[in-house]
Amino acid sequence: MNLDTFLELLTDHGQRALAEAGELVSRTDPVTAASTLRRSHPADLTSAALVQAGLRARAAAKFGADAARMYFTPAGLEQATRPEVAAHRARRLSASGAPHPSASGPSQTPTSGAPRTPASGAPRSADRSTPDRDMTGTAPDRDMTGTAPDRDMTGSAPGREVTGSGPRVADLCCGIGGDVIELARAGCAVDAADRDPLTAAVAAANADALGLSARARIRTASAEDADPGDYDVVFLDPARRVSGRRVFDPLAYSPTLPEALALAGAAPGACLKVAPGLPYEFVPAGAEAEWVSYRGEVKEAALWLGTLAGGTGAADGWDGTGGEPFTRRATLLPSGETLVADPRLGPAEHGKAGRYLYEPDGAAIRAHLVAEVAAMVRGRLLDPHIAYITADDRVSTPWASCYEIVEMMPFSGKRLRAALRERGVGNVTLKKRGSAVDIERLRKDLKLSGDNSLVVVLTRISDKPIALLCEPMSSLEQSSTQLNGTISR
């Protein structure tokens, strides 16, 4: 789907084609749907409508009821922030301060009229060959009559000021607008941009479809073209895919992480979305690094800078740094529970196995807050280098899943198989941390049968491989992990 075809999809006849496509996709096969739709619509529009209807059906799992009104690209849907996570971030951003004092809105181009050089001095992004485009797909110095001034992706003149009770936010890599939507809903006045014309058009259509156009303006531009000083907050979600494949090196982001940090540093406050595995050496001094988990799965990490660093949640007055160069925070969604480092604890103790095993949430592990979780459950590590906690008492906490240790043994496939068969276990959930065992192969080798279920944890203690046979301590915890055929690493 190209930009022109997408724009046609937004017309009256395009909307009719999309409605028909949605109905056909829900009740017939793709071939029949395509042949039926082509009877009354051009081939390009038919294809775009069917693709969009299919994407909406897929998006319902992530965006819920909003998906039926939104627009997507395949890559945009895959990369879009989950609404619950975006809403959490938007709440923090919206609480950051009053609207920017500028009454005329942010400048759309540098005052000199020349392209703005990236703050880091790095080379320009590859998208410089693509001029800014408005919703008609024309170059910014011409509209359909060839005479109008620059127009943004929402179709309004660039001087239009977005309104909102919260701060002015620049979303400089907005994608299909997942964060724009939640920022606008939280009351922020959002100026957003994406360097890809089609993606920016999709984001603008989403803001309009959800009734948020008054609070959000979207245009085609590179992150480097913005003046961060015109805003209260800058939000950046650098592209982390090349040719459809994820990249993990922060220097391969687009813009690169140093470039993004340079842009963010020119605003009073900023938030950068990064990969959860970001090496700590890339976190700047004075920042806050937050890892966010949604229903037990780590979804993202974010760097909070300037006026946004720190926030709330520090225990007993501690700011979470403890003399460290930056704050480490973990957050659980949908509950909103948050945890920061407590420098009074020091490293977690380790010792012999107790009655219970605790598996910390991935956000706490990524944030190196295992010692804090161990203190909550009055526990200790089985091994000083592995994030499994053991304790003698059962303590309820949202920060860890709890299992009762039924049996602990030195690991061998033969011995484990015998122990499981003796207990009549036919359904096993395999977990591992610090173990070199290939659990896909192990599952096949176990050849289990029986009516009972157990969790088997493979780990090591002082370089000695062990297996722990465990019972989940609640049906709620069990339901999220113990599914037939599930393997959890």
For the chain, the average pLDDT equals 83
User: Mean pLDDT over residues 147-162, rounded?
Assistant: 46
Split at pLDDT 50, 70, 90, the class of 161 is low
What are the Cα distances from residue 103, in Å, to 53, 162, 187, 442? 41, 10, 17, 65
Give the mean model confidence (pLDDT) for residues 85-92.
Answer: 95
What's the burial of 162, exposed, middle or buried (CB within 10 Å: 0-12/13-18/19+)? buried
Q: What is the mean pLDDT of residues 234-242?
A: 89
Report the sign of the C-alpha dihedral through residues 415, 418, 423, 429, in that order: positive
Cβ–Cβ under 8 Å, residues 288 and 310: yes
**pLDDT for the residue 138:** 35
Q: Which pLDDT band, with edges at 50, 70 and 90, does 121 fall under?
A: very low
pLDDT tens string 132-150:
434 333 333 333 233 333 3
**63/107: higher pLDDT:** 63
pTM: predicted TM-score of the whole model, two decimal places: 0.80
Q: In the block, which residue shows the tokens 């190209």?
A: 2
Highest mean pLDDT among 95-104, 318-327, 474-483: 318-327
- Asked whether the predicted pLDDT for residue 419 surpasses 50, the reply is yes
Cα–Cα distance measured from residue 170 to residue 152, given in angstroms and rounded to the nearest whole number: 14
| Backbone φ/ψ region at 174: left (φ over 0), alpha (ψ -120 to 50), beta | alpha
Distance linking the first and last C-alpha atoms of the chain = 38
Residue 456, amino acid: V
Q: Rounded mean pLDDT of 397-426?
A: 95
What's the whole-number mean pLDDT along residues 445-449? 90
pLDDT classification of 97: cutoffs 50, 70, 90: low
What pLDDT is recorded for position 324?
67
| Residue 91: strand, helix, or coil | helix
Residue pair 379/358 in contact (Cβ under 8 Å)? The answer is yes
Backbone angles phi, psi at 446, to 5 degrees: -70, -35
Q: How far is CA 367 from the centre of its chain?
A: 16
Is the pLDDT reported for residue 319 higher than 70? no
- H or E element at residue 332: strand 327-333
The pLDDT of residue 416 is 96
How far is residue 333 from each of residues 82, 89, 187, 300, 427, measured CA to CA in Å?
11, 11, 21, 12, 29
Residue 160's pLDDT band (boundaries 50, 70, 90)? low
Write the single-letter amino acid at 487.
Answer: I
